Amino acid sequence: MKVFKGKIWAAIGSLMDHAGTASTTKSSSPAAAVPDRALLADIEAAIERCTGSSSGGGANDDRHVHEILFLVSNAPSAITFLSRRITARLEAARAPAAALRSLLLVHRLLRAGDRYFEQDFRGLWASRELRVDAPRCSCSPLAAAGGVVHYAGAGAAAVASGACAFVHGYSAYLEERMQWVINQAGNLEPARKPPPPDHDAAMLPPPPSSSASSSTSSHDASAETLLFKLAMCQRLLDLAIQLLPDNNTSASAAARSAFGIVLRESFKVYDAFAEGVDVMLLLLSRSLAGLSKPSRVTAHEILKKACAQTPELKEFYHKCKRSNASSKSLEYPLVRVVTPAHAFAMEMEPVTMIPIPEEDGCLQEEKVEAKAGAEAIDGGRGSSFAHKMETTISTVWVEFDDEDQKLITADDDHSLKAVQPS
């Protein structure tokens, strides 16, 4: 018995020694080690080169961004130091140009980093270690009167005000952009999942298990995911539309670079939105009754918002083509304007599929709206002439005797032919 107990204690001691050795090795690994001062100094210098006054948003800045990513990859824990230093520079910025360069660095790091860097970067933003909210840059004439910033004249104040508005709009765009990720196909998709159902619905007991109920719940879950993605697309596109810089702001190389990134991202977001709207209309046309009432309401609100947003987006892209802030070599998407006819079709059961017209199909849009209006009027009145009616004339053979034959006049003979008895 003593020998058996001794073996047990020896085995336990061996396991404890192995665990202690493993933990020591893990803590002493380069990935978990605290970055040294030299590495932090190199990161700080690279941040200065990206956000300094000499930064112009060109190819040299891309090289500095990749330098930062390389330095952080050698010590992953240094990403916290990177986030804090960028936040400190953004909060200390009093000129719109300095704040814009810090925001642009955040956007470029978010796009150029790998999947793990992007995940950690967004995690630091969620924990407020990285902040990209509106900086306290002094741009207005009231702030200038306080002695923080002085302008040479009214023209300089107007230029600063336009630049400050662009910085605040870009900051709001980045706040929303932090909730998106770049998937393996290189497209943007929302990082967050659809919000869970309300608490009351969650407390209800689950329905009895069956193939029909499981397919219905799966169908409704996929619809919720699609509707959530469409709503996220609309939010990001709204912020992009408001970001078109004026002529004075577009003179800044950093502003042109930031707007170019936003514009290219909006192309991908709109493509995802247009594809999602087609899927939503097809989904609703097949199984409107299978969707929950909140899903139908959300779908109707998305289409209602799209009726106002898609014409604005179309006009926004037209302005971008004429603006100096965007590159002339960009391939703009073909915006399909959503009309009120699509929102009206949502209220009908089953849903009537109405094709979304192309960008230049203005006449087609008017025809669709006129057709939908006529159908709405007919449907509301309950008229029996909603469809074209055809009449059929059947031939009746009638026999007359001699007295009746004499009463037939010449005019009646054209409309009725009598048949003589054989």
CA-CA distance, 288 to 281, in Å (whole number)? 10
pTM value?
Answer: 0.69
Residue 29 confidence (pLDDT): 44
pLDDT at 187 over 80: yes
Of 280, 272, 81, nearest to 188 by C-alpha is 272
Q: Say what percent of the chain tops pLDDT 70.
A: 56
pLDDT at 291 over 60: yes
CA-based torsion, 228, 232, 235, 237: positive or negative: negative
Top CATH class, 34-139+160-168? mainly alpha
The domains of the chain are located at 34-139+160-168, 179-192+218-349
Of 170, 341, 310, nearest to 230 by C-alpha is 310
Residue 247 confidence (pLDDT): 76
Phi, psi of 232 (to 5 degrees): -65, -40
In CATH terms, the fold of domain 179-192+218-349 is: Methane Monooxygenase Hydroxylase; Chain G, domain 1 (1.20.58)
- Give the tens place of pLDDT for each residue, 11-48: 555 555 554 444 444 444 444 456 788 999 999 999 99
CA-CA distance, 188 to 124, in Å (whole number)? 20
135 close to 171: Cβ distance less than 8 angstroms: yes
Residue 146 confidence (pLDDT): 41
Strand duo 188-190 + 180-182: pairing = antiparallel
Residue 396 confidence (pLDDT): 45
pLDDT at 422 over 60: no
- Give the tens place of pLDDT for each residue, 106-122: 999 999 999 999 999 99
- Give the tens place of pLDDT for each residue, 243-287: 988 877 877 889 999 999 999 999 999 999 999 998 888 877 665
